[in-house]
Every structure is written in structure tokens, then in C-alpha cells.
């Protein structure tokens, strides 16, 4: 699997190639959540991945997008945040004992959940993509006890990872955001926005989907508390959740699930988005 340490190595390479590298903030265990900025200009977007622990292949895809963007002239700034949930990714890789302070809780929760290979949450059992202040707690699958997935947390932004990306997003104030998930080959863009924003956002989603050729979702949602949901409702900007990888593959995803074809469909997407805003 693509590990947090693989990402740190890739970041050293990006520094040498001239990208700006920094930290969005820290995870609950105190790990840096890195960002990599490519390009110059007025327009700004943020591209995030691996907010769900078992989806570290999205970080691997974003690293490919960074390499691609570094080789091009870009009119605007792309802030890549490949791995929002490094603790969760490390939990899958190393197990509960890697986090001595949380090991007891994690072992119990892991037993209930059936191990860590399908884990989505952070090391407090909070599903970070339900922890944002956007109809918080009202999603169809939301739950209210710590678990490997779907637990919304005690209150919105109760977790350092969701606070970190909230504060970073408010600081950058992007024109649009992309949240990478896996899997299902779908693109989501709707979260109760106004009619005029709906028109704008659907049009952009259609453009993005010209290369993706995924399933373009309609103006309906049963989710809540996600990063995309919060970007749409709090910042009133276009924000997209993109589920990569065909449903022919099943979780836990092996590295081979990120095919070259999948990468190709997504490589140019941040640049396409910059062109549409």
C-alpha cells in the first residue's frame, strides 16, 4: 500500500523540483499533514486525498498529478494535500500498537469492526469526512459511537485533522476544491446550493467528467458533514468529490487497482478545473 512514509519521500523529491512544501496542520497523533503547491497566479484550488484511511491509493494518484503539474505552465495555484488522515493510513499498515496512547481503544474497536484493513476513520474512530460543519450528524449513514467508519465525532471539527484542513482552506480561500475518494468511478458536486450555484457547479462537473468518463451524480445527496459539503455550504464554492477506481475492484484495494488508465483519466483534472473557474 501507499504509505505515509512513501509520501514523505515523494515530498523530498518535490522540494528538489521546486514545489512549495508545507504543512496544513497536525493529525491527532501529532504527524504533519503535508501540502505541496504547484503553479503561480490568482486562481487557487485545493486537491485532497486519503481522508479515509483505506483509500491511500488516492494519495498515490495525487502524487502522480503533482509530477504532471510540475512539468507544465499553470495559470493559478494548486494546493495538493495528498493524505489528510495519515494516522488512519498508518493504523492499517502498522496496527494498533503503533499508537500506544490509543492502542487499547483501537484494539477493541478493531475487533468489533473486523480488523483494520477496511478502516476509514482516524485513530479516535471518527470518520473525518462526517466531522465538518455542514448539516453535521444528518447524513443517512451517520452514527454516534466511535467506529471504523461513519462516526461523526462529538461535535463538528472535534478532530485535529478536520480543523487543520478547515483552517488551511479558510486561509487559502480557494475558488474550488476536489476531494479524492475510492471507489466507484463517480463524481459528486451537489450540496443544497442555490439554483445559480447549482447551474455553475453542474456545468463544471460535466467538464471535469469529459476526461473522467465516470458517473456524474445528480442534484441529490444523502451525505452530510463532508469536506466537499462544507466547501459548498460554508464557502459557496464549487467542490467535487471524485470516487476513483472501478467497482470491479473490492476493498482492501491493492496497488494494482490504481491502473494506468485510471491515472490517465485524472492526471489533467486539476488543470482542467483551474481553466473552468
Q: Can you give the binding site for Zn ion, defined by CB under 5 A? A: 52, 55, 181
Q: Are 23 and 34 in contact (CB under 8 A)?
A: yes
Q: What is the largest CA-CA distance in the chain?
A: 50
The minimum distance between CB 120 and Zn ion, in angstroms, equals 6
Q: Are 176 and 233 in contact (CB under 8 A)?
A: no
Q: Residue 29 or 150: which CB sits closer to Zn ion?
A: 150
The minimum distance between CB 264 and Zn ion, in angstroms, equals 22
Q: At what angle do helices 260-267 and 195-212 cross, to 10 degrees?
A: 140
The minimum distance between CB 229 and Zn ion, in angstroms, equals 13
Q: Residue 181 or 265: which CB sits closer to Zn ion?
A: 181
Q: Residue 10 or 149: which CB sits closer to Zn ion?
A: 149
Q: Residue 166 or 181: which CB sits closer to Zn ion?
A: 181
Q: Residue 181 or 185: which CB sits closer to Zn ion?
A: 181
The minimum distance between CB 165 and Zn ion, in angstroms, equals 14
The minimum distance between CB 40 and Zn ion, in angstroms, equals 31
What are the angstrom distances between the C-alpha of 9 and each of 35, 98, 193, 262? 13, 20, 39, 23
Q: Are 110 and 116 in contact (CB under 8 A)?
A: yes
Q: Residue 44 or 52: which CB sits closer to Zn ion?
A: 52
The minimum distance between CB 52 and Zn ion, in angstroms, equals 4
Q: Residue 129 or 169: which CB sits closer to Zn ion?
A: 129
Report residue 59 as a C-alpha cell. 494519495
Q: Are 165 and 81 in contact (CB under 8 A)?
A: yes
The minimum distance between CB 108 and Zn ion, in angstroms, equals 24
Residue number, nearest CB to Zn ion = 181
Amino acid at each position: 500500500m501507499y504509505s505515509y512514509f512513501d509520501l514523505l519521500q515523494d515530498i523530498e523529491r518535490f522540494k528538489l523540483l521546486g514545489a512549495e512544501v508545507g504543512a496544513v496542520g497536525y493529525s491527532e497523533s501529532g504527524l504533519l499533514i503535508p501540502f505541496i503547491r504547484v503553479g503561480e497566479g490568482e486562481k487557487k484550488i485545493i486537491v485532497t486525498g486519503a481522508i479515509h484511511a483505506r483509500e491511500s491509493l488516492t494519495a498515490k494518484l495525487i502524487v502522480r498529478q503533482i509530477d504532471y503539474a510540475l512539468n507544465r505552465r499553470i495559470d493559478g495555484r494548486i494546493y495538493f494535500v495528498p493524505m489528510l488522515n495519515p494516522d488512519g493510513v498508518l493504523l492499517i499498515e502498522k496496527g494498533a500498537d503503533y499508537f500506544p496512547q490509543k492502542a487499547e481503544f483501537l484494539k477493541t474497536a478493531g475487533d468489533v469492526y473486523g480488523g483494520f484493513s477496511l478502516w476509514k476513520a482516524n485513530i479516535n474512530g471518527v470518520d473525518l469526512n462526517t466531522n465538518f460543519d455542514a448539516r453535521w450528524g444528518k447524513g443517512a449513514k451517520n452514527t454516534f459511537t466511535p467506529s471504523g467508519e461513519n462516526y461523526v465525532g462529538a461535535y463538528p471539527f472535534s478532530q485535529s485533522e478536520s480543523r487543520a484542513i478547515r483552517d488551511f482552506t479558510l486561509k487559502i480561500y480557494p475558488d474550488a476544491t476536489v476531494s479524492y475518494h475510492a471507489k466507484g468511478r463517480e463524481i459528486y458536486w451537489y450540496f443544497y446550493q442555490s439554483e445559480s450555484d447549482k447551474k455553475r457547479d453542474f456545468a463544471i462537473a460535466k467538464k471535469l467528467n469529459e476526461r473522467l468518463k465516470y458517473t456524474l451524480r445528480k442534484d441529490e445527496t444523502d451525505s452530510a458533514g463532508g469536506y466537499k459539503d462544507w466547501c459548498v455550504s460554508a464557502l459557496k464554492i464549487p467542490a467535487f468529490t471524485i470516487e476513483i477506481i472501478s467497482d470491479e475492484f473490492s476493498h482492501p484495494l491493492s496497488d494494482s487497482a490504481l491502473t494506468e488508465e485510471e491515472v490517465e483519466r485524472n492526471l489533467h483534472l486539476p488543470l482542467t478545473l483551474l481553466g473552468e473557474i
